[in-house]
């Protein structure tokens, strides 16, 4: 039954991002994204939070919405090869570098998940990492899990207001891929989910991005 719960959780995440992509009002879509994420964290059996955390949960913390952190940009070719990205705890995941994007704060590499079905993965760190956000970085895109802001041809949407922490930030029982060194931005990305304190972990480790 846990597998069915996870299937449902991922479908709900995908539905949230489908609404985001369809909206012509990014800030309004962001507000709905926040509300629906809080609902998942509080109510869903596959929430990253433990039962004890849910009892004290009052909502995820975010920087205020800033339209300056939203870009539409064209991808660029990169040296394509497989990389194993280490996890916050045990394990690693194989991704392939397949393109890159330039932002005003620096270049970011996009990775392709090298397993059945694949998917785009865009983790990053920045000057807030370890200060105002998780030191292991945040995610902007993870299309295998439904986190997809959209693209048309080689033009993609990057809206850092939708940056979020991996599950391992919220509870130690999850083991998540961390942002590689090449995806560290020099600027402070003051957009998206914030917070610095990791919750106490439960026994055992799951695998969750």
Tokens representing residue 28 in the block: 């309004």
With respect to residue 185, please indicate whether it lies within any of the assigned structural domains.
yes
Sign of the dihedral through C-alpha 89, 145, 76, 103: negative
CA distance to 66, 94, 121, 136, 161, per residue, from 177 (Å): 27, 10, 10, 9, 21
With respect to residue 206, please indicate whether it lies within any of the assigned structural domains.
no
Residue with tokens 């709905």: 32
- For 142-157, what is each residue's pLDDT tens digit? 999 999 999 999 999 9
CA distance 201 to 204: 9
- For 55-64, what is each residue's pLDDT tens digit? 999 999 999 9
Question: What pLDDT sits at residue 197?
Answer: 54
With respect to residue 119, please indicate whether it lies within any of the assigned structural domains.
yes
CA distance 125 to 136: 7
pLDDT, average across residues 180-197? 92
Give the residue among 72, 79, 83 at the shortest CA–CA distance from 123: 83
Q: Please give the share of the chain, as a percent, with pLDDT higher than 90.
A: 85
CA distance 81 to 97: 6
CA distance 138 to 104: 18
- For 19-50, what is each residue's pLDDT tens digit? 999 999 999 999 999 999 999 999 999 999 99
With respect to residue 165, please indicate whether it lies within any of the assigned structural domains.
yes
Would you say 139 and 177 are in contact if contact means Cβ atoms under 8 Å apart?
no
With respect to residue 208, please indicate whether it lies within any of the assigned structural domains.
no
Report yes or no on whether pTM surpasses 0.85. yes
With respect to residue 209, please indicate whether it lies within any of the assigned structural domains.
no
- Domain residue limits at 141: 2-201
**Which pairs count as long-range contacts for 1-4, CB under 8 Å and 24+ apart, including other chains?**
2/45, 2/46
Question: What pLDDT sits at residue 37?
Answer: 97
CA distance 164 to 184: 15
Domain count, the chain: 1
């Amino acid at each position: 039954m846990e597998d069915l719960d996870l299937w449902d959780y991922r479908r709900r995440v995908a539905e949230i991002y489908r609404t985001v992509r369809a909206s012509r009002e990014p800030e309004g879509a962001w507000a709905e994204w926040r509300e629906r994420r809080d609902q998942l964290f509080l109510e869903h059996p596959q929430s990253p939070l433990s039962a004890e955390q849910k009892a004290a949960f009052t909502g995820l913390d975010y920087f205020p919405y800033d339209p300056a952190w939203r870009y539409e940009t064209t991808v660029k070719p990169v040296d394509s090869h497989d990389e194993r990205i280490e996890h916050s705890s045990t394990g690693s995941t194989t991704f392939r570098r397949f393109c890159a994007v330039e932002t005003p704060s620096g270049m970011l590499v996009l990775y392709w998940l090298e397993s059945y079905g694949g998917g785009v993965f865009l983790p990053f760190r920045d000057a807030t990492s370890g200060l105002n956000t998780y030191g292991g970085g945040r995610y902007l895109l993870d299309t295998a899990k439904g986190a997809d802001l959209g693209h048309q041809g080689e033009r993609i949407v990057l809206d850092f207001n939708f940056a979020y922490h991996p599950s391992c930030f919220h509870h130690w029982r999850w083991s998540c891929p961390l942002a590689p060194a090449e995806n560290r931005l020099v600027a402070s990305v003051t957009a998206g989910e914030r917070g610095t304190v990791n919750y106490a972990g439960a026994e055992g480790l799951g695998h969750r991005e």
